[in-house]
Amino acid sequence: MINISERHSMIRDTAHSFCEREIRPVADALDEAEVFPEKLYSRMAEIGLFGVSLPDSDGGVGADMLAYAIVMEEIGRGYASLADELGNVEMVGTLLSRYGTPEQKSRYLDPLLKGTYVSAFAITEANAGSDVAGIRTMATRAANGWELNGEKIWIHNAPNFDFAVVLARTDKDKGHRGMSTFLVDRNLPGVSSGRKERKMGQRASQVGPISFDNVHLPDDALLGPENRGFHQMMSVLEKGRIGIAGMAVGIIRAALDASIEQAKMRHQFSEPIANFQAIQILLADMAKDLHAARLLTYAAAEKLEKEGRAGLEVSIAKCFASDAAVARSSDAIQIFGGSGYIRGFEVERLYRDAKITQIYEGTNQIQRMIIARQLIAD
């Protein structure tokens, strides 16, 4: 049974009110402009939505994984790009909270949680997407530190980051056991980001490449122990997948709300289309998947909170919720008919925003492999 406490309800109310008052009225304009939502980013920090599951001793909210899933659902209902930013802060913040020195926390985590820094989570490369072990970016020992070379692609906030958490090889002969995590400031010589990519959906969150050309890093740029970077990054991916699942639940919810309103308002053959069984079936399937996705996500969040690992449950929740978000936002367009295909209608944006949830934080094909392997493991 999912235990929604009074604190969970208070956090939900805060996120819900913020979504209604400040996100939903501008979501379509942000999508059209494709600009980073700087004011709303700062506002999320100001009202206490950054670092929901991080300990309060590190400047976080000190709540749990269920609270994080709830917040991602509420913000995802308003605009997935804002939820995407919130999730990025949660993942980078978790790495800094778990592995950072007091000095690193002061320099990076504090301003990140206050909304004055924007971070990039830099893993993906041209030949290393789902196969993280295939990265080629290299950090080699140099005088008083490290020298970093390589290129990352499809990096969230690459066009506008203040610092990046970068996974790089530090021992080319040890595979995934020879990778380390580094904190890299954008203004260092040799750090450059390419053009902002024009995306299908979630267009207000910026994506692009970052390249490192003989970037000198001091010794204290290393985050955690040397050669433990792969394990560090993997340790936060389950949390990341909870966040994506929560975001997808929010998209389904927005699609259902819009569809119910449209079905009651739109008339055909002299009556509301809500009276037609074909439309009722679509609405029922949307509601069914919304409830199932939410329960799967909340249950996975609770297990991850209690046990520290929940690979099977997290993969099931992420896979189901994101598949449902794509399918049910498509159904919403069907209910809207021709108008649902027109830019400026919410359901058209929801469909575009939903698609990436099947891809990032591990594609749904990878999630199915994880699920299957655990099912047949001895």
Quickly list H helices, 47-79.
65-78
The answer to whether residue 32 is catalytic is no
Helix (H, G, I), strand (E, B) or coil at 123: coil
Residues 6+ apart with CB under 8 A from 206: 36, 156, 157, 158, 159, 160, 196
How far is 198 from 272, CA to CA, in rounded Å? Answer: 38
Q: What angle do CA 70, 73, 77 make, to 5 degrees?
A: 145
CA distance readout (Å), 371 to 235, 238, 301, 314: 17, 13, 17, 9
- Residues 6+ away with beta carbon under 8 Å from 269: none
Q: What is the dihedral of CA 217, 219, 224, 226, to 10 degrees?
A: 90
- Name the DSSP class of 172: T
Could you tell me the CA-to-CA distances from 339 to 79, 214, 345, 355 in Å, in that order?
Answer: 20, 52, 7, 20
Which stretches of 185-310 are DSSP H helices? 229-265, 277-307
Assigned token pair, 3: 């235990």
| Ramachandran bin of 205, using left for φ above 0, alpha for ψ from -120 to 50, beta for the remaining angles | beta
Of the residues 73, 74, 238, 361, which is catalytic?
361
CA distances from 341 to 333, 336, 350 (A): 7, 8, 11
Answer whether 320's CB lies under 8 Å from 292's CB.
yes
How does 348-358 read in b/e, with b if 16+ C-beta sit within 10 Å? bbbbbbbbbbb
Name the residues annotated as catalytic: 361
